[in-house]
Amino acid sequence: MKRAAITGIAGQDGTFLARGLLKRGYEVHGLLQFPFDREAPTLLRRYPKNEFDAVRWSTGSLEDPFSLVRFLKSSKPDEIYHLAGLTDSRQSFLVPEESVLSITLGTLRLLEAAREFCPDAKIFLASSAEVFGEPAETPQSEATLMNPVTPYGIAKLAADHFGRLHRAKYSQFVAIGHLYNHESPLRPPNYLSRRVCLGVAAIKRGEAQELQLGDLSAERDWSDARDIVNAMWLALQAPKPGDYVFASGVQKRVEDFVATAFRSAGLDWKQFVKTTVRTSNHQQVTNGLCGDARKAETELGWKRAWSFDTMVADLVQAEIENRSELDRANPLARPA
């Protein structure tokens, strides 16, 4: 039985990944940021009891190298999926030092601990499209110039470089995935995708008359999180490690997302959406991010099950149905 260690297991991607690996017959070890008693109620809503009991839970912090050592020594993993760290690129302007501590130094500490205690383990580092900054070309591939323009993007790029260093100097199997926007019904309410879909459901039920949003011209490359975590797994099944772009290859505007969400509920978005103007420059979203995933498709055999339309429709339907977290976290869900 293969053993997998997952940092960031309590998040959207970590949940889908852990449940998917359990179904593949893995022994799964998960690192929680907060004490188990605090995390357990949320986890129990996302995992069937048998899967919850099967996961070997640990508590630790990326800022505490000793907890990472304990985690790897106890799990003895064949595969490590490093998903933990700050995730909000816009908020990283407010906490730049914390971004570097969590993302860059946290990744380095994990790599060093793995080099010492499980040097043969295959490692996946979850990077970001933010490393491309204001992109030099569209779409972006693994060869595109990386010039991040946020503290988050800079921290991610530095972490990636440490991954490449360990791959080259210490022969560690380190795969790096540049993840573009990916959504699921597990997104917290503060994310745009969830906020839009909650608004659509409220309007559909007659509980609201309008939805207020910011700039609808911002561009995104959206995928489904369930496709993305499958790509992570495929990256560690490859014969050799590499860098990969995981994206849909299709650029959409926020307006497209909003229109699709309302249309899936049989509504015309123009009748309900009111827009407001952002005033903070550093909160503005970079346009032009669109990934070229041909390397992942060719080398890993990655295929996406979810289109943009089916993904958005599923997000909306989850809110209209008031779907349970257990159903939202199903890694085997497929488009209707």
What residues are labeled active site? 128, 130, 152
Beta bridge partners of 28: 4
Distance CA 221, CA 246 (A): 10
Amino acid identity at 282? H
β-pairing, 219-220 vs 252-253, is antiparallel
Give 132: exposed, middle or buried? Use CB within 10 Å, 0-12, 13-18, 19+: buried
Q: How far is CA 127 from the centre of its chain?
A: 9
Q: Are 135 and 153 in contact (CB under 8 A)?
A: no
8 A C-beta contact, residue 71 and residue 5: yes
Contact 87, 10 (CB under 8 A): no
From CA 301, how far away is CA 183, in angstroms rounded?
A: 21
CA dist 97 and 94 (Å) reads 9
Q: What are phi and psi of 199, to 5 degrees?
A: -65, -40
Pairing of strands 252-253, 3-7: unpaired
Mark 248-261 as b/e (b = at least 16 C-beta within 10 Å): bbebbebbbbbbbb
Q: Give the N- to C-terminal CA distance of the chain in Å, as an integer.
A: 33
Two structure tokens written together for 271: 């009748």
Tell me phi and psi for residue 211, to 5 degrees. Answer: -130, 120
